[in-house]
Copies of this chain bind each other. A is one copy, B any other.
Amino acid sequence: MRSRQDRPKVVIVGAGFGGVSAARALRRAPVDVLVIDRNNYHGFWPFLYQVATGILETQEVAYPIRSLLCRHKNVDFRMAEVRGIDLAGREVQTDRGSYSYDYLILAGGSTTNFFGNDNLASHAHGLKDIDDADRLRNHILHRFEAAAAEPDDTRRKALMSFVIVGGGPTGVELAGQLALLAQRTLPREFPSLDLTLTRVTLVNAGSSILESFPDALQKHARRRLDRLGVELRLNESVESVDNDVVRFSGGGSTAAGTVVWAAGVRAGDLTATLGARLGSGGRICVEPALNLASHSEVFVVGDMAFLDGHNGTAPYPMVAQVAIQQGRRAAQNIRALVRGRRPRAFRYFDKGQMAIVGPRSAIVDAFGVRLRGLPGWLAWLALHVAYLRGLRNRLVVMLDWIAVLLSPTRGTGIITRPAPLRQDGG
């Protein structure tokens, strides 16, 4: 980075969808940009459930930030953990030192929301980053290996039982893929294990899954999950997990060796330290132009920002598209301020939503078009490959998907982490 003393300094905290989108939108602006992230990669989170179930490898959903940004001469990167922000002194404090800024973009994203339930936080798996996905895949494979060696029928069944909490796209996609794994992939690898004992239960607090989709598509998704043998428990949640026993809020319980919590996210802890007003999910309430009322040089985007929709509609959801568009708007507003112009209010362009609901089947609701089955799946595929970063990742991801299509019995991957503790039933 060729920095000049007189150029305004922009610090971007976080290199997720929002942060990277902002950095790119600033690439030709007369500013010096420093991106800070605790990881050195940009993660493509919509694929996490595929990493967890062994279809994709960890590296295929992550892209080194330096490779992503190195074409932009005014953008530098620092791998560091943000400890705090001195709004008055205009300084970001990290474990690698402090960095001063003229403009700040907070794009630190979100983390799994266990709603204060410590028991779940320590016994259920989140599915929010690469570490989660890698840990969950290792756990699932360990469970089947343990089942293969388990002489006791009851314990073997428990090891092969999975409870997934959360009826949004992540929960639905993971439940469907787990059922497929047990039905198609594993029987060949575990010839002496009866895989029909596998049970996948999807728990949802609301009365229907994929609530943000139109009714007809919801019903289609339910039929597909039903066909895959996924058990639905609606209007219910999980209270606790102990020794592989899952207790439901309705009073029932079941033995399950794996519990995944995909029932909510909240903004990262940094938001609570700024003294700003917080909205739902621990998000920072921002002005329509995405900056703070008290500090107009500080912008907040993506899962860290709370902003009511245009014309008083519902607050913007914590999804990738909002983060990408907000990152771009924050960058454009900084360009405007540098030129002495006024920042503009954020306007969201809703590109719709989609979710995988079965083998070669997805539901799509976008631009007034509703797709399901194979056409939906092809649309999902095209869009997600387009959004992936890097030619290598695109090629390998497509290669792996083709492999799954041609040979559903493809191996599930290697175990790289030690087994869970015995107390957990491993």
Contacts and interface: CB of A to CB of B under 8 A. Distances in A.
B40 A415 contact: yes
A145 B58 CA distance: 21
Contact of A188 (B70, B76, B413): B70
A131 interface: yes
Interface string A380-417: 00000000001010011001100100000011111110
Contact of A415 (B39, B57, B192): B39
A182 to B, nearest CB: 14
A58 B326 CA distance: 36
When all copies of this chain in the complex are counted, the total is 2
Interface residues of A, number: 48
A149 B96 contact: yes
A66 B390 CA distance: 32
Contact of A416 (B131, B149, B191, B396): B131
B64 A189 contact: yes
Contacts of A80: 149
A59 interface: yes
B131 A63 contact: no
Given A41-B415, A57-B59, A414-B59, A191 B399 contact: no
6 contacts: A58-B414, A59-B414, A66-B189, A67-B189, A78-B149, A130-B414
Given A41-B415, A62-B414, A73-B191, 10 more contacts: A39-B415, A40-B141, A57-B59, A63-B411, A66-B189, A79-B145, A80-B149, A96-B149, A130-B416, A396-B396
